[in-house]
Amino acid sequence: MDAAAPLARTEMPAPSFVMSDEGYQIATYAWGDPAAEPVLCVHGFASSCRDNWVDTGWVRDLTRAGYRVVGVDQRGHGASDKPHDPRAYSMAAFVSDLLIVLDTYLIDAVRYVGYSLGARVGWQFAVDAPEHVSRAALGGIPDGRPLARLQIEQARAYADEGIPVEDPVTRNYVTLAERVAGNDLRALVALAEGMRLGDADPDPDRPPAPAHPLRDGLGRRDSRAITRARRRSAGRHIRGDPRPPSLQHPGIAGVPAECGRVLRRRRVTPDALVPPVREDRGHEVVKISGRR
């Protein structure tokens, strides 16, 4: 019997641009029936909508499940503008971009799917604008500030003058940033610097919906996930590994294949985005751990 043909990936449409508060162009994409329930997919650091969600089959699976999918290239990534000013990359700016996207698409509330940087932004998005998030699946939320381990001056010297990077953590981040064609290393260095300004760790004991328990991909209470992650991964960054210590997934944050494995291994499927049975529970956050 012939082997089954691989499933076709979703076509990548031309981007539609929205304007940020500062005047930056943010690339957005849409698939599926405009009248269907919307899912907002937000990618990780040094990645893109195509890299994390289209090429991995997530857009295909979500549209087949009957959802409308809206994707975004976060500022500094993909087809969006890539400012070199670190002040352009505050957490408030990332959240504001998503609010503008929803407003432009005339969407009141979404099921939110985020990975790595997209998950961290999603957490804050749900904290700051809970009325716009009915349910969220967040994979690879960084513990602490992983980009703070990057040696900015070494990364900038490499980007500007090609000077080899000596610090192993910084070298790994540079390799990650150069993996995706079209990435602007100077913009990503600026993002790493800007994310250090005013951002705080997500508090697992005060999730976006404080009246409802934070749950992992198996539906269990997971308020101590970040504490457990810190203990298990304390030695990893000494070896120069840039993987985010929280959620303990075995791949580098932002790598699309790992994005798919982390979410699917934790049984996050289109069904995971169905709202809770009890309508009075409000929105709910599903936090995805990378290991069983």
For residue 250, pLDDT over 50 is answered with no
What is residue 206's predicted lDDT score, i.e. its pLDDT? Answer: 65
pLDDT at position 251 over 60: no
Share of residues in the chain with pLDDT > 90 (%): 54
Lowest mean pLDDT among 28-42, 150-164, 227-241: 227-241
The answer to whether 283 and 134 have CB atoms below 8 angstroms apart is: yes
Q: So what's the pLDDT on residue 264? A: 59
What the block records as the tokens of 239 is 């070896």
How far apart are alpha carbons 61 and 270 in whole angstroms? 7
Pairing mode of beta strands 133-139, 110-115: parallel
Note whether 155 and 173 are within 8 A (CB).
Answer: yes
Express as a percent the part of the chain with pLDDT over 70.
Answer: 64
- Average pLDDT (154-181) is 94
pTM assigned to the model = 0.77
The pair of three-digit structure tokens given for residue 265, joined into one six-digit string: 């291994």
CA angle 109, 282, 92 (to 5 degrees): 50
Distance CA 132, CA 166 (A): 44
Q: What is the pLDDT of residues 59-70, one digit of tens each?
A: 999 999 999 999
Tokens of 82: 């890539």
pLDDT score recorded for residue 10: 82
Mean pLDDT for 3-10 is 59
Burial class of residue 11 (count of CB atoms within 10 Å of its CB; 0-12, 13-18, 19+): exposed
Burial (CB count within 10 angstroms: exposed 0-12, middle 13-18, buried 19+), residue 22:
middle
41 residue type, one letter: C
Confidence of residue 208 (pLDDT cuts 50, 70, 90): confident
Q: Alpha helix locations (H) across the chain?
A: 49, 58-64, 91-104, 117-128, 152-161, 168-178, 185-194, 225-233, 256-265
Q: pLDDT-based confidence at 286, cuts 50/70/90? A: low
Q: Is 70 exceeded by the pLDDT of residue 231?
A: no
